[in-house]
Amino acid sequence: MLTGDIEPSIKDAVSQLPPQAAKDLLSAGVCVRCIFRLFGIRGQVYSFPTLAPSLIYSQLEEVIDVDESIPRCSVEANGSLGGSDTDLGFCTICLGILQFSYHDAKDKVMKNQSPSDMASTIAQSVKQEGHSISDFSLEISIPPIILENEHAVRLHLKSKYGNEGWMQESNSSQIISVKESLKFSLTGLVENVLDAKSSLSEFRIRMTYTLSKSPKTIQNIMEKNKRFKKLKHGNEKLHSDGTDAGDADMANDRAEEIVKRTLKNLGDQQPSVFPPDKVTEPCSLVVACSRASIFFGGRYLKYSRNVSQSRWIIDDERMGEASVEEIIGSNILPLCRGDAYKFHAAGREDIDVRMLGSGRPFLVEVQNARDVPSRTSMREIEVKVNNVGSGLVKVKNLDLVGSQGWNLMREGEAEKQKQYAALVWISRPLEDVDVETVVSLKEMQILQKTPIRVLHRRSPLERGRTIHWMNIERIAGSSQYFLLHLCTQAGTYIKEFVHGDLGRTHPSIGSILGCRAEILQLDVTDVKMDCFMAD
């Protein structure tokens, strides 16, 4: 007996079913939710606590009793389909997914839970991870065998009921997917438990259903797929059933795409296996939640000649006293309670080069942050970074930025201008004509082969770069030392432009002045990029 506010919805849903076809599917072990979705029924019926066959069986019989065109004997031939609600098998199409049955992380079979129970399980995963959220996106990954099962049932219905009006009017596009049906069942309940809205959120709740081994039919489809063959013989590690050993979500999604395309191409040529084999074990389920990376953008200044840009360890020995990456990232990460961080900068300077002036643009990418800091917190982080490390590194204009900040930095790294101040020594006294010669050079084109000092980690290439302008500032009391101020295209190797790198950079200050030239100290004084500048 149906009771409660949802009763009209259940009755209305059952009334839309072709009764004999529905009983046919029930007899084949298809769950009620799969029957609803196969006939395109939408709405709140999916979240009803119990949708066992016995719940709707009596209504189907009432419809059949009224419809005299369906012989009573054909219904009875299917046997008693009601059964015990507590002793249901696993659905032969969805493998128990829409019955909320699954193997949990401890390999315990959770059987026939209610949608509310499943929503509580999902919410518990979120709370255990400690995420603070206002919205979420529910994502679902399922084994591709479900598509094959669905296809086989569809062909069976077409073969048996193809002459009936309801079958001629229906089409495959009306079928609601297992994923969408599961969302119908759970989304509203999860919203209530988490007090958060479902949307296109950067916070994702991922339900991944997997089988320990794919059926042979799925393996055959995957083996015949050219893309799969290329992957299998590449660098990816795959299970014997054709799934990616490193990422079940990606493997499921890739396989689902391939199987869906294959079944569509086969159409009615694929042989129908009906009823499907009895399902004795449900899928394994892993519920994971994560937030898309958040990005902090700003500019840093480096005042020490013994601080590297990134963490630099050689043979377990640290190079330099600290790194810009660690000083900034280690202060941002705890505030966000993220899993890890990555440091990105618009170009780089050597460990012995200071970064002055307006500072160098940088991004800190925080992965799976539990909290997203406020603007007030940004100022607190700035103060904290600027007060640690004895003033080695300072940051300014720190703020949360979108992923577009990454594009701005990449553009600036390749296309923008940077200014430097270099203390230069030459092997002879500096003459007035030398100053005039250097200052007169505008938009000078140079060619630089990969410097000897970085050949161990960079490809041996020849790069064209532009020196936009240069000025020379004499040093009082010295004829062989001077300050060289220059503005260059981003990516220019400044040290090599001064000393020539054994002829690998041409022209160079040494070749222009016709003498030996060495750079003693170098500072970056300005990075001309629009991103992360003060208002």
Model confidence at 267, pLDDT cuts 50, 70, 90, reads: low
Res. 304: pLDDT tops 60: yes
In a domain, 54, yes or no: no
Mean pLDDT of all residues in 436-454: 95
Give the model's pLDDT for residue 263. Answer: 52
Of these residues, 117, 135, 253, 350, which one is catalytic? 350
The reply to whether 107 and 198 lie within a common domain is yes
Full domain range(s) for residue 516: 417-527
Contacts of 447-455 spanning 24+ positions with Cβ under 8 A: 447/505, 447/506, 448/492, 448/493, 448/496, 448/497, 448/501, 448/504, 448/505, 449/501, 449/504, 449/505, 450/504, 451/493, 451/495, 451/496, 451/501, 451/504, 451/505, 452/501, 452/502, 452/504
In a domain, 137, yes or no: yes
The reply to whether 307 and 399 lie within a common domain is yes
Model confidence at 404, pLDDT cuts 50, 70, 90, reads: confident
Q: pLDDT, tens digit, for every residue of 464-513? A: 999 999 999 999 999 999 999 999 998 899 999 999 999 999 999 999 99
Res. 66: pLDDT tops 70: no
In a domain, 28, yes or no: no
Res. 158: pLDDT tops 50: yes
**Residue 108 φ/ψ region, left for φ over 0, alpha for ψ in the -120 to 50 degree band, beta for the rest:** beta
Return all residues near 458 (Cβ < 8 A) that are at least 6 apart.
Answer: 450, 451
Are the C-beta atoms of residues 82 and 36 closer than 8 Å to each other? no
Model confidence at 51, pLDDT cuts 50, 70, 90, reads: confident
Give the model's pLDDT for residue 248. Answer: 57
Q: pLDDT, tens digit, for every residue of 217-256? A: 544 544 555 554 444 444 443 333 333 434 555 555 555 5
Q: pLDDT, tens digit, for every residue of 456-469? A: 888 899 999 999 99
Full-model pTM: 0.73
**Is 316 considered catalytic here?**
no
Give the best-scoring range by mean pLDDT among 18-32, 65-79, 261-275, 434-448.
434-448
The reply to whether 190 and 251 lie within a common domain is yes
**Domain-terminating residue out of 390, 414, 438:** 414
The CATH number of residue 354's host domain is 3.30.70.2510
Give the model's pLDDT for residue 458. Answer: 85
* More confident of the two residues 303 and 89: 303
Q: pLDDT, tens digit, for every residue of 72-114? A: 333 333 333 444 444 458 999 999 999 999 998 888 888 888 8
Pairing of strands 307-308, 322-323: parallel
Res. 63: pLDDT tops 60: no
Q: How many domains does the chain have?
A: 3
